[in-house]
Structures are given as structure tokens and as C-alpha cells.
Amino acid sequence: MQFMLLFSRQGKLRLQKWYVPLSDKEKKKITRELVQTVLARKPKMCSFLEWRDLKIVYKRYASLYFCCAIEDQDNELITLEIIHRYVELLDKYFGSVCELDIIFNFEKAYFILDEFLLGGEVQETSKKNVLKAIEQADLLQENSPSIVLNYCR
Amino acid sequence: MSDIVEKTLTALPGLFLQNQSVGGPAGVKTSFSSRLGGLVRGITALTSKHEEEKLIQQELSNLKATVSAPTTTLRMMKECMVRLIYCEMLGYDASFGYIHAIKLAQQGNLLEKRVGYLAVSLFLHENHELLLLLVNTVVKDLQSTNLVEVCMALTIVSQIFPREMIPAVLPLIEDKLQHSKEIIRRKAVLALYKFHLIAPNQVQHIHIKFRKALCDRDVGVMAASLHIYFRMIKENSSGYKDLTGSFVTILKQVVGGKLPVDFNYHSVPAPWIQIQLLRILGLLGKDDQRTSELMYDVLDESLRRAELNHNVTYAILFECVHTVYSIYPKSELLEKAAKCIGKFVLSPKINLKYLGLKALTYVIQQDPTLALQHQMTIIECLDHPDPIIKRETLELLYRITNAQNITVIVQKMLEYLHQSKEEYIIVNLVGKIADILVLNTVDTYAPDNAWFIQTMNAVFSVGGDVMHPDIPNNFMRLLAEGFDDETEDQQLRLYAVQSYLTLLDVENVFYPQKFLQVMSWVLGEYYYLLDKDTPEEVLTKLYKLLMNDSVSSETKAWLIAAVTKLTSQAHSSNIVERLIQEFTISLDTCMRQHAFELKHLRENVELMKSLLPVDKSCEDMVVDASLSFLDGFVAEELSQGAAPYKPHHQRQEEKLSQEKVLNFEPYGLSFSSSGFTGRQSPAGISLGSDISGNSAETGMKETNSLKLEGIKKLWGKEGYLPKKEGKTGDETEALPVPQESIIMENVDQAVTKKDQCQVLTQSKEEKEKQLLASSLFVGLGSESTINLLGKADTVSHKFRRKPKVKETKSGETTSAHSMTCSYFSSSSNATYEDDYYLDALQDRGDKELNKFSLNSELLDSESLTELPSVEKLSNCKLSSSPSLFTDNNMEGFHPSQSTAPSVAPETSLASSLLEETSEHMHSELVEVCHNETISVSSYKIWKDDCLFIVWSVSNKSGLELKSANLEIAPAENFKVRQ
């Protein structure tokens, strides 16, 4: 996967994760163009887009668009399922997630994403394991370091 | 699940400003900063972009003050980071905070460190210089006893890490492969995957450990290792054939549901792992029957098991189909896969339909009948409201183009082209149409001249200046070279001339520059076909264009070249006179030059006619590039004490050493467009892009002109082929005529069978569609596979008819290749001509070199030169030895022929330049010859008073060389002239 973008129906970026090194200028340009293109598409249309030499896979959940860029030989359908799995994870973590959760806790959303996808590849496909990893790290935050160490052992 | 999310989300906008802690566990909400909340709410309350900008700038300056204040605690810093990330996401620059993010990762407690690392991963990219500051922190955290710290360090390493610092952490990460916690092992594998991507040679030694990871008892670790294997097998599939069995076993276990239930996704066992394994198997089994046989069973099972009607099963099916078609074919599996494709194509779900088309596109070349089966669906997709589906369909049609359906398909493509706005799509599609029309003339397709020219006109007008430069070049070459039938050729040219004249008649239309260039070339070359007494009419048009400000100066050069050609046919013309008047005082030096040349040529009609003969654009010109006829003159001058020639670079060097002040010389030489005036010029420009910078090629062109002429093309109504293809050509040409009817019948039968039940309800619209179908899929029967295969072939050798031009395009390979040739030829008693491109290698032809230098000297001042020589000039500078006249100390070696049993066309620069030579001017290192153990490279160094030719012999094998025997072969070939 090359990058993942989350943006609202109004075109506001909510989350961005780049797995390929690009300059800020390029990132902004890509984001702007893609958001425009995706928002202009009608709901019944295909979830895949050919954009430059990349494939864009996007899906809308309520007011949020999830959008991934993959290479041509990658599997589009499984990318859709990656998006869905990420939404499931967010949902499980926040308890029925909404756009506001992601706006106000975007760093948490990033932490979850990092446990699920790492360096552009699926890191862990078991939902349980991903959530366990997040919870572990979260528990640390709420407690003092000594308890942390105990927990980890 | 998604429904619930949807409901919650739609219900929420009303609650937006009231309370943001809706719907989340309390623990999560208490920790987020109220400051961020304030910021977010502040932004949402704003109405204009301008206000937002003001607010954020305010916020950023506050943050800047806070982060740099010494009193700021790490806790506050963490909170600042979150806000900085937010601002940056909105598109504002927060680079002042980057260094503080690194600090936070370094100094904070776990909680702060986590945010610090996140900020680093979001702010920086892997080439950012600040990233080096993170290395120490990472090393420290990797050694920590706290698991969470180790995890964080591994996570950041897997995302961004400076390539040159990999050795610093590599041993630590390798250790982690043996860690007791599976999460650590998994992340370590992914970190190594990242290293493999950015610096593959650094992790070569741990390949054996990857095997251990593949056999890990934890599924997650195994799955992570698949990423590495996929990548490595993609690069070199033959090295991992022995693992096929393991991958098959793993896939069997996964498909059989042997993995923990955790890994199920919507009750499908571990789909991600399945897909990754299928992709790996596809790579391993490609063109390898034995390996493929191992996987037939498991593929069959995968196809069978994936029956649930859910997206994810379709994802697996799609991958299965892909694998089945990539590996060594097995008919049963192919049958099943074809059925699967049918399921996709016929699915009402648009995503699946898209993938069905995609699958058809890559399957179609193996099995064209599949397209016949789904023709009605394809026709429907052609008019689909979603442009993406349309485009994929066109892609599919592009692959099945043949002589019978070309008009329909090209028409559909043009329709799409007119609708699209995006440059990328236009370039792509124009390339495809031109590919069908021009590049594939070997066995296609254009039904008649008018259609061909009109379609090309459309391509040129729409594609305009974004299209690939090969397209107009190939088109012109096609016109010039023509086909075998001379009258046919003349008609085609005549039609082109007529059509362009009509186009130029239209007022207030702006054509793309490239199109104008094509027009001016064609008019200049072939206007005489119109058989009019004077070309006054067309000269008026060209004149108008020349006076037009919107025409670029490059195009104007083409235009004036056309005028020059036409002038040689019409002796007195007021327009030409006016034109000369206008342009001899033009500010554009290039145009002025052209105008003067035209003026002088007009004074000598005989010369002009011989210089610009009619319809000779294809004739090969014999150019004495060595300018040997000037030898006597040079010798005389030298004897009278004239300074010997110094090549350009040497002169510049001297100049630089003399005056270390400002350089007032313009940098480039300007003859790139002013140097040619003859009738060759526009073609010269176009071909020039192909040829430029390769004297070897030019040399070959000149000296082997006879060979070139030997290649004849065949042209008939149905197709047109070079001699080599004679046999297949005859088949394809002969077959379509009798077949056409049969195939049509076949098609009709298929259609009627399929639609028997619908016949009654068949509307007029459907009939139209069927008509379209029969016109599209005509010639797709099994016999016509010849056609398809033939076409596939031509796609890959676009320039088969003119292999030389292709060679020139790929600069390095060609030069390497020609060197090989020259090497061989030199060993077998080289001929005079060969030395043209031999100069980079052997300097035995010093006589020639003399001429080269002369050549370039003369060319410098000569403006009326032929293009090839200009080409040569640029090359002389590169490779010919400078001023052999001053050479009194030339040293050189000839490679021993015995050390070069095999000369591969790809030269790898195995040996590097000697260090001390780098301060002198030197040529590129060129590998002369090599075998498994030894490679010989050569390069030249120009010193003040001499030329060194250095042959470096390097031992590649790692074995000790007992003795080296350097033989300087035929000594008479190698002499030094004082």
C-alpha cells in the first residue's frame, strides 16, 4: 500500500498515512486531487479508481471516506477488506465509532492503524491480537511504570 | 457492523458541539487534551477559509513559543505535539516542531514517548536529515527491558529509518527474532522487511533466519515473513523453488481451517494469508511445469472452498484465477477459473464486474474465446455510466483489436478520449490508438487511407502536445517509407496533403504544435502530388502560420523548412520574397538563419533542386562524416603553421584555467535547430531525437546503407508486413477472407444460442448492441489466435521494422551493444568503417581519429551541415581522442582476446575508476569484455600533454589469480603516430 487517507464528506482530511517517501508538496497535491476526484463520484459507482499509475480503493462509511492507494497488481477487493477491518477495529476500540472520535482522538486512530498495518503491509490479521496490543500500550498510559512492568510479564 | 456505524454517524452531527465524549469508553476520553478539543471546535465554528488560516497561524505561533520555552514540561510537550500534528494535517507548516518530536521520543516517559514516535513517523520521511537524531533513541529502546518500549522502537523502524544507519540496529533486531514474545518477533520480521526494501544487500546474510520465521509457531510471525518472501521471490523466483512445498502445505492448512479462529474474517479462514500465499505460488509456478504441478491440488481446493457470497471470498477467488493463469496451465483448472471469471463479469455488483473485466483483460491473450462468451456484457460495459468501467472495457478491446474490428474499437476509444479531461488518461489512450494505427502496421488493420488519415488527425488534435513524441515520428516515417505498392502510397500521401489543406482552411482553429509540425512536413514533402503549377496556395497558408504568434518557434522551423522545399519547386513567389524580408530581420536567430539560407539557395536554383530533390526523404544519404576530402587542406594549413585542432572540451578547459572570471560564453550550442536547412530538416529533427548522442548508430546508418534498403515491406489491402514475417503474414492475410464469414456465423450462432429465450423480447436497442458485438468480436475465433498472438508480439517489438531506431533509443544498451559488435569485428580484421564507433574502445584507427577532430572543428563553423554529422560532432567531443597532433606521449593497451571468450551486451561497471585519475578529465568507464572470472574495462584520461588509455582488469571471482597474461593483439593495428 502506498498511502491511506481519511477525509470527510466536506473534503476535510482526518487522517493521513504515507508509506512512500514524498515531499510535503506532492502529498498536498495528491491529497487535493484525490479528495476532489473521490467526492465527485456517485454512490453507485465502482469503489476502484485508476489514478495516474496507481489504483485507488475507497469506501465511504457514514460521513467519512477511507481511501487507499495500491499498485496495479495488488488485489483491490482485499484492500476493501483492509479498510473494513480497520473500521471494525476502530469500532471495537471506541465502541461504535463516529467521525468525532477520530477527530478528537486521531492519535489513537493512528496507534490502531500502526498495529494493524506496518510499513504499508498488513501486520496482524487477527482482530484480537491487534486490540490486545493497543490495550497493553493504553494501560501503560493510565498507570505508573512499575505496574506497567508487572503487566508485561 | 457497518450499518451500525452508519447509523451512529448519521445521528451525530447534531451532537457535534455539545459533547464530544459520546460513544466512547470513559477511559479513552479523559486523556485527550482539552486544548486540542478547543482548537477543533474553534475551527468548526469558523465560516471562512480565511478565518481558519488566521486561527491556525495564531495557534502555531503560540505553539512555537511553548515548545521552545525551557519551562515546558514533557507532558505539555506531548499535548503540543498532538496539536501540531493536527495543524499539519490541515495543511499548515509545523516544521519548527520536528526536532521537539524527536526530543519527546527520546526523553519522555512511555506515554509521552509514544506520541513522540508517532509525531516523528508522521512528520518526517525517510530521507529527512533530522531522522539521524532518532537513531540513538531507537538503539536505546531496542535494548530496553520494557516490552512496550521495544515494540515502539520496532514500529518506528518498520516505518522510517535512515538507510545508512541500518548497521547500527541490525544486530539488535536480529536478536529480536528469537524473542519469547510473538509480537516482538513479528515486528522484528517487518523491520527486516523494511530493510530489505530500502537496502537489500544489508540483510542478505539473514535469509536463513527468514526461513525460521516462516516456520514460526505463531501465525502472525509466519504471515509477516510472507511479505519478505513475496518480495524476494518476485525479484528472483528461481532461488526459492525449494520452498514451494512449504507454501503449499501452509496454504492447505489455512484453507482447511487449521488456524486459530482469531484469524478468521467473516468466517473465512485468514484471507490475507491465503492471498499472499496465492500470489507467491503464482510467481513460483510461472513457466515452470514441475513446480506448478505441486500446487494444482491446493488451487483446486481453494477454488472449491471459496463459495461464500462475500467480498472476501471473491478477493480470494480473484487471486486464485490470477494464479491459475500465471502458472503452467492445466486445462481443468483453467476451465474452473474461466467459470469464476464468468461469475465476476456477470455479477450485478459493480466492483466485481470491474474485476471481471480486469481478469478478462489479462486472460484474453491466452484464451480469446472467453471474450466471445461475454461479449454482450462487454458491450453493456462500454456504455456504462461509470468511466472507470468504460476505461477498463476499452483496455480489454484494445487487446483484441484485429483487422476486422479496428474501426469500431478505435471509434469507441476516440469517443472516450473526447470526454476525458485528465492528462494522464489522454496520454495513455492516445498512445494506445496510435499503437493500433501506426506502430502495428506490421499486420494491421487500417481499412482505407481516408479512415487512417482522419483517425490520425483526430489523434493529433486531441492528443496534442502531451502525446509521446514517437507517435508523430512514426507516422511520418510510415508515410515516407510507404508500403510495397507505390500507387497506394501515393494515394495515401495525396490524401494526407488534401486533408491537411482542408484543415488549414478552417479559420480560427488552433492545432497543437506537434500536429502543425506533421502537417508542414507532409505538405513540404508531398505537395507536388497535387500536380499544381505553383504551390502559391499552400505557401500562403504556411506564411499565415509563420506570422502567427501562437505558433512556437520550434514549429516555425518546421514550417520554414516546408517553405524551403516548396520554393525549390516554385521559382518565383512573392510570398517567399516577403517571407525572406520579414525573417531576415527577425529577432529569432534561428529563424533569421533559415531565412538567409533560403535567400541564398534561391539564387542558385540548380543547387537548390539537387539539394532538395522531390520524394527522396527515404533515400539514405551518403555522408562522408570523416570529411576526408579536407585532409589535404588541413595538412597544408598545418604545414604553414596553423594551430592544430583542439576539441571543444579542451578549449574550454584552457579557457577556464586562463581566466578565472565570469564565463561570457553561452552554455549550449545553438545549432540544434539552426544547423539544418535542407529538405531533411524536419525529419531530421524528429529522427534526431532518436539518434542523438549515438555516433555508433549514425555510423552504421551511413556505412550500411545498402543493407537498410534491402528490407522491403509488404503491403496489401489487408495488412502489411516486413519480409521476415512473410510466412505468418501470408497466413493472416490469406485467412481472414474466407474466415470472416465463418466467424460471423459462429458469432451469430453463439449469440442466438445464448439469447434464444430472449429473442421474443428483444428490443431494437438490443439488436443494435448485437450488431455492435458482431462487429467487435469478429475474428476472435480460435483460428484468429494467430492474429492475436501476432499482435501481442508486435506490441512488445514496437519498432521491429526499424530495429535500429529502437536501439538508438535505449542509449546505454545500444552503445554497449555496438561496442560488442565493434569488438568482434575488430578481432576479425576490422574494416575502415567499423572504426567509427570503435573509437571509444580501440585507438588503433588513429587516422580516423584525426579526421574526427578535424570534422568537429570544421563543423563548428559550418552551419549548412547534415544532421548526422552534427550528431557526430557531439560524439566526437565525448569519445574521440583530443588533438592527436599534439600527442607525443600516447599510451595504450589492447585487450587480450584470449581473456574475452564471451562478451555480454550488458556492461556492468564492475571496476571503478582509479582514484587519482578523477581529478583529470576522463571518459566514462566502459567495460570492454568480461567472462565469469575477469572483466576488462577501459577509460581515457586527458592530461595536459597526453592521453592515457587505461585498461583495468578486475577479478570478479574472488579466487586468487595465479597469473595474468595480457596480450596486445595484432600489433600492427595499434600504433602511435607522433
Q: Which positions in chain A touch B20 (Cβ < 8 Å)?
A: 100, 104
Residues of chain A with C-beta less than 8 angstroms from the C-beta of B2:
61, 84, 87
Helix or strand (DSSP H, E) at B233: helix B219-235
Q: What is the DSSP string of B284-349?
A: HHBT-HHHHHHHHHHHHHHHHHTTSSSHHHHHHHHHHHHHHHHBS--HHHHHHHHHHHHHHHH-SS
Q: What is the CATH number of the domain that holds A76?
A: 3.30.450.60
Selected residues 916-935 of chain B with any CB under 8 Å from a CB in chain A: none
Of the candidates B125, B197, B354, which has its C-beta nearest A22's C-beta? B125
Pairing outcome for strands B264-265 and B268-269: antiparallel
| Phi/psi at B377 (5° precision) | -65, -40
- Checking if the pLDDT of B744 tops 50, the result is no
Identify any residues that bridge with B394 across adjacent strands, giving them in sequence order: none
Model confidence at B721, in pLDDT bands (50, 70, 90)?
A: very low
pLDDT of residue B142: 92
pLDDT given for residue B473 in this prediction? 83
Nearest to B311 among A80, A118, A136 (CB): A80
Residue B924's pLDDT band (cuts 50, 70, 90): low
Can you say how many angstroms the Cα of residue B417 is from the centroid of all Cα atoms in its chain? 22
pLDDT bracket for residue B186 (50, 70, 90): very high
Residue-wise pLDDT tens digits, B36-73? 888 888 887 777 888 888 888 888 888 888 888 888 88
B-interface mutation test, from A78, A127, A139, most B Cβ less than 10 A away: A78
Least confident of B282-291, B405-414, B513-522, B610-619: B610-619
Is B891 in a helix, a strand, or coil? Answer: strand
Highest mean pLDDT range out of B246-255, B706-715, B802-811? B246-255
Sequence spans of domains, chain B: 485-611
Residue A36 lies in a domain: yes
Q: Best-predicted range by mean pLDDT among B362-371, B385-394, B647-656? A: B385-394
Cell output for B827:
578481432
Top-confidence residue, B394 or B29 = B394
Percent of chain B with pLDDT over 90: 10
Number of CB atoms found within 10 A of residue B423's CB? 11
The residue among B425 and B9 whose pLDDT is bigger is B425
CB within 8 Å: A78 and B224: no
- Please report residues of A whose CB lies closer than 8 A to that of B162: none
Question: What pLDDT was estimated at residue B790?
Answer: 35
Closest Cβ opposite residue B220 in set A19, A129, A137? A129
CA distance A134 to B614: 80
**pLDDT tens by residue, B404-437:** 777 788 888 888 888 877 777 888 888 888 777 7
Q: Contacts by B575-583 with C-beta closer than 8 Å and gap 24+?
A: B575/B536, B575/B539, B575/B540, B575/B543, B576/B539, B576/B602, B578/B543, B579/B543, B579/B546, B582/B547, B583/B546
A45 grid coordinates: 459507482
Model pLDDT, residue B675: 38
Computed over every residue of chain B, the mean pLDDT equals: 70
More confident residue, B247 or B757: B247
Q: What share of chain B is helix, strand, coil (3-state, %, to 5)?
A: 65, 5, 30
Exposure string (b/e) for B224-237, b if CB count within 10 Å is 16 or more? bbbbbbbebbeeeb
Nearest to A78 among B2, B10, B271 (CB): B271
A153 within some domain: no
pLDDT tens for residues B298-333? 999 888 887 777 888 999 999 999 999 999 988 888
Contact between chains at B121 and A93 (C-beta distance less than 8 A): no
Residue A30 in contact with residue A50, Cβ under 8 Å? no
Q: What's this model's pTM, rounded to 2 decimal places? A: 0.64
**Is there a contact between B493 and B456 (Cβ–Cβ < 8 Å)?**
no
Considering only the beta carbons, identify the residue of B9, B118, B265 that sits closest to A63. Answer: B9
**The CA-based dihedral angle spanning residues B867, B873, B878, B884, taken in that order and rounded to the nearest 10 degrees:** 150
Of B9, B190, B265, the CB nearest to A98: B9
Restricting to B residues 362-381, those with a Cβ less than 8 Å away from any Cβ of A are none
The reply to whether residue A62 touches residue B151, judged by beta carbons under 8 angstroms, is: no
Residue A100, pLDDT above cutoff 90: no
How close B779 gets to chain A, by Cα (Å)? 29
Look at residues B128, B89, B26, B138 and name the one whose alpha carbon lies nearest to residue A107.
B89
Query: Residue B321's closest CA among B348, B350, B358, B289?
Result: B358
Pairwise CB contact (< 8 Å): B24 & A95: yes
Residues B928 and B816: beta-carbon distance below 8 Å: no
Give a yes or no: residue A150 inside a domain: no
Task: Estimate the share of chain A in helix, then strand, then coil, as percent rounded to the nearest 5.
Answer: 50, 25, 25
Any residues with CB less than 8 A from the CB of B928 and at least 6 apart, and which?
B819, B823, B841, B895, B900, B903, B936, B937, B938, B951
Interface probe for A, chosen from B1, B3, B8, B186 (most Cβ of A below 10 Å), is B8
Average pLDDT over residues B645-656: 80
B144 at A interface, C-beta within 8 A: no
CB contacts, 8 Å: B314 with chain A: 77
Q: Could you tell me which of A85, A38, A31, A27 has the C-alpha nearest to residue A64?
A: A38
Residue pair A94/A101 in contact by the 8 Å Cβ criterion: yes
Query: Over the Cα atoms of chain B, what is R_g?
Result: 35
Look at A64 and B9 and tell me if their CB atoms are within 8 Å.
Answer: yes
* CB-based contact, B817 to chain A, within 8 Å: no
Q: Which residues of A touch B146 (CB under 8 A)?
A: 148-149, 152
Which residues numbered 103-132 in B keep a CB inside 8 Å of some CB on A?
Answer: 109-111, 114-115, 118, 121-122, 125-127
Residues of B in contact with A51 (CB under 8 A): 424
Euclidean distance between CA atoms A12 and B180, whole angstroms: 43
In this predicted structure, what is the pLDDT of residue B866? 41
Contacting residues of A for B223, CB less than 8 Å apart: 122, 124-125
> Three-class SS string for A59-74?
EEECCEEEEEEECCCC
User: DSSP 3-state assignment of A153?
Assistant: coil
Q: Please tell me which residue of chain A has the smallest CA distance to B18.
A: A100
Instruction: Identify whether A29 is part of a domain.
Output: yes
Tell me if B536 sits within 8 A of B570, measured CB to CB. yes
What b-and-e string marks burial along B867-897, b requiring 16 or more CB atoms within 10 Å of the CB?
bbbbbbbbbbbebbbbbbbbbeebebbbbbe
Domain of residue A95, residue span? 3-143
Residue contact A77–B314, C-beta within 8 A:
yes
Chain B hits for A144, CB-CB cut-off 8 Å, are none
The string of pLDDT tens digits covering residues B548-571 is 878 888 888 888 888 888 887 766
Residue B926 pLDDT grade (very low, low, confident, very high; cuts 50, 70, 90): low
- Grid cell 588509455 is found at B949
Distances in whole angstroms, Cα of residue B387 to Cα of each of A42, B267, B360, B390, B819: 11, 34, 18, 5, 49
CA B795 to chain centre: 15
Segment A22-60, tens digit of pLDDT? 888 899 999 999 999 999 988 888 999 888 888 999 999
Cβ of A125 and B121 within 8 Å? Answer: no
| B227 → chain A, closest CA residue | A121
**pLDDT of B882 over the 50 cut:** no
Q: Into how many domains does chain A fold?
A: 1
Cβ of B5 and A129 within 8 Å?
A: no
DSSP calls for B897-941: GGG-S---SS----S---GGGGGSEE---EEEEE-SSEEEEEEEE
